[in-house]
Structure 1
Amino acid sequence: MEPLLEEFDEYLALQRGRSAHTRRAYLGDLRSLFDFTGGGLDTLTLPRLRSWLAAQAGAGAARTTLARRTSAIKTFTAWALHRGLLGSDPAARLQTPKAHRTLPSVLRKEQALDAMDALNSGAQQGDPIALRDRLIVEMLYATGIRVSELCGLDIDDVDRSRRVLRVLGKGNKERTVPFGEPAERALAAWLDSGRPAVAKPTSGAALLLGSRGARLDQRQARTVVHQTMSAVDGAPDIGPHGLRHSAATHLLEGGADLRVVQELLGHSTLATTQLYTHVTVARLRAVHDQAHPRA
């Protein structure tokens, strides 16, 4: 099945615009499925597909994981049918589990400011990596972009005169995202003093670099965010996606229109963005319960 999966991977990348992370997850799901069925395409029947998903659920897979695995199956069988490898689509009647939406952990505004202050004090020493780390956290919080989008930025994607980023998001959709003066200061310090100290001839145009001069890996960026949050009293243990949640929540609390936040975050549907309205209501309720004598 490996040659077939490699062809499917190419289809996902070139025609569907799926990220490397999504493609890895889909191929892992399909390998697990074929291990379960013990055969090739002829073993993909609706009862076998349902049995595999039931076994995954019994092993403790979360609903979000089951939803992704169902999506991997349905995408693969639809592709195989189109290619003439299947006579009918066995997953056409497969129901996708609805994932429970949980309210994300977000920073309070003062916690976000404390995190930035801690990074500023470290960057004042002029260490290139400290300058980079400050830019990572500042830019993630200032823009609400995904960590993959941040690590994929090139220098030319930054328009410093207008303080905007050209971001390539999911499905290769491009959008323009603004950032503020604190992020601009962090960017200037990195480009003037930090990046030249770690850049190599092989660094190319990547905006953010690792200590060896290669484009910054997403795992490094996540580590930076987690370490930063661990230094802030009372802050939840969040990663880059938590900063994205925090940015969206603080925008809405500040009066931003939901449609504007949708555009900034690069959400394909408004329903995804509406999750943050539930976050702000939950925060209001928590404050009310703590502060009101008749709560």
Structure 2
Amino acid sequence: MAIQPLTVRDEYITYIRLERNYSSHTVSEYTTDIDAFLSFLAVEGITDLNDVTYTEARLYVTSLYDSGLARTTISRKISSVRSLFKFASSRYGVTDNAFKSLHHPKKQERLPAFFYEDEMEQLFKACEGTDNKSLRDYAILEMLYATGIRVSELISIELEDIDNHLGIVLVMGKGKKERYIPFGSFAEEALGTYTEISRPKLMKQKKHDKLFVNLRGDPLTDRGVRHILSSMMERASLHSKIYPHMIRHSFATHLLSNGADMRTVQELLGHSRLSSTQVYTHITKEHLRDTYMNTHPRA
């Protein structure tokens, strides 16, 4: 028995609207997606849902790509048609293998945003100063960039976690995993100045061992660090939006760009999987290509 696409379409839209109680917006999206697919079938001369095979399904998805639609839109349209066939399978026994076998297009991975080295220099210059707040902010930026630690790890550091003699800091990462991270002379100097001069004055009468404190002497919060970094961006006249992880991304990108091996960067970042670190290689490759295209005479 031939299964008319329009008949199934009308029954399915009624089903999701009345029985599944989908929102009007969702019903509208399903209707649009299914109607587009049925138009494709009409062009292909297919009048029976039983005649739709994997070949037609692939052809339809190819046409979606050719029309320049975003991957997320294509993925949604596949889901809509797949749902239609699932409904037709349960009600009319139509085989739904055609779209069941189709994989959703992979989501495009957004490369982590980072600062170039000269932009980092602008940030450091923006928070230079001799007042207590500037000394603290400078130490925060040095620590984030020198170690690549997360903000949650930064605000949990206590005084005893810093070993200035060895130049390392003990941090508590995700899953309560501890790791030691080295830091250089710039961070060491900034931390020394902050802990000896600025922190005691900011602490006032407060008593706790957290390394970084706010202007009232209380332990610094995640929100506080975000506010500090945003203020730095304004003073540095950098126009991109900052978020704390950008410093971490910059740390990893600059290490890899300057020859650090992947395993070392993985350990420093506290990644449990190497694949989490490998994303930064894409950034360095993009940067290499851009540099080449902008500088080579025959690029």
Same fold (TM over 0.5): yes
Unaligned runs of 5+ in 2: 1-19, 30-71, 73-104
Pick one of 104, 114, 118 that aligns with 2:112.
104
| Aligned-pair CA distance for 1:265 | 0.5
In the alignment, what sits opposite 1:215? 219
Structure-1 residue corresponding to 2:166: 162
- Which residue of structure 2 aligns with residue 193 of structure 1? 197
CA change 1:192–1:98 in 2 (3 A) is farther
The aligned residue for residue 276 of structure 2 is 272
Matched to 2:285, the amino acid is V
Deviation per CA, 1:183-227: give whole Å up to 9, x if none: 111101111111100114444101000111110011111121122
Flag the structure with larger Rg: 2
Correspondence for 1:91: none
1:173 to 156, 172, 177: 177
1:102 CA drift (Å): 0.8
Q: CA deviation at 1:279?
A: 0.5
> Do residues 284 (structure 1) and 288 (structure 2) align?
yes
Give the structure-1-normalised TM-score.
0.64
Q: Is the 8 A contact 1:105 1:236 kept in 2?
A: no
The 3-state SS of whatever aligns with 2:123 is helix
1:36 aligned partner: none
**Equivalent position SS for 2:263:** helix
2:252 equivalent to 1:248:
yes
Paired amino acid for 1:108: Y
Conserved in 2, the CA contact under 8 Å of 1:111 and 1:235?
no
| Contact 1:107 1:235 (C-alpha < 8 Å) held by counterparts | no
Counterpart in the other structure of 1:115: 123
C-alpha distance in 2 between matches for 1:100 and 1:200: 50
What is the RMSD computed on CA atoms of the aligned residues?
A: 2.6
Question: 1 CA distance for matches of 2:237 and 2:215?
Answer: 28
The answer as to 2:153 corresponding to 1:149 is: yes
Task: Give per-residue Cα distances to partners, 1:72-113, cap 9 Å, x unaligned.
Answer: xxxxxxxxxxxxxxxxxxxxxxxxx97642112211112212
Q: What's the CA shift for 1:161? A: 0.6
The one of 135, 157, 174 aligned to 2:139 = 135
**Is the contact between residue 257 and residue 284 of structure 2 (CA under 8 Å) also seen in structure 1?**
yes
Residues paired across the two proteins, number: 204
The one-letter code sitting in structure 1 at the alignment partner of 2:289 is R
Percent of residue pairs bearing the same amino acid type: 43
The TM-score, its normalising length taken from structure 2, stands at 0.63
Equivalence for 2:267: 263
Secondary structure, counterpart of 1:140 in structure 2: helix
Cα deviation for residue 239 of structure 1 reads 2.2
In structure 2, distance between residues paired with 1:193 and 1:287: 43
Deviation of 1:251 after TM superposition, in Å, equals: 0.4
**Consecutive aligned runs of 4 or more in structure 1 exceeding 6 Å deviation:** none
- Tell me the residue number matched to 2:6: none
The aligned residue for residue 231 of structure 2 is 227
Asked whether the 8 Å contact 2:125–2:236 carries over to 1, the reply is no
Kept in 1, the 8 Å contact 2:155–2:221? The answer is: yes
CA contact (8 A) 2:132 2:201 kept: yes
Deviations 1:18-74 (A, max 9, x none): xxxxxxxxxxxxxxxxxxxxxxxxxxxxxx9xx89x97xx8xxxx9xxxxxxxxxxx
Q: CA deviation at 1:235?
A: 6.1
SS of the residue 1:165 aligns to: strand
1:8 corresponds in structure 2 to: none
Specify the alignment match of 1:205 in structure 2.
Answer: 209
Q: How far is 1:166 from its partner?
A: 0.2
Distance 2:165 2:142 in 1: 18
Q: Identify unmatched segments of 5+ residues in structure 1.
A: 1-47, 64-96
Structure 1 residue 283 displacement after superposition: 0.8
Is the CA contact (8 Å cut-off) linking 1:203 and 1:209 kept in structure 2? no
Equivalent residue of 2:236, what SS?
coil
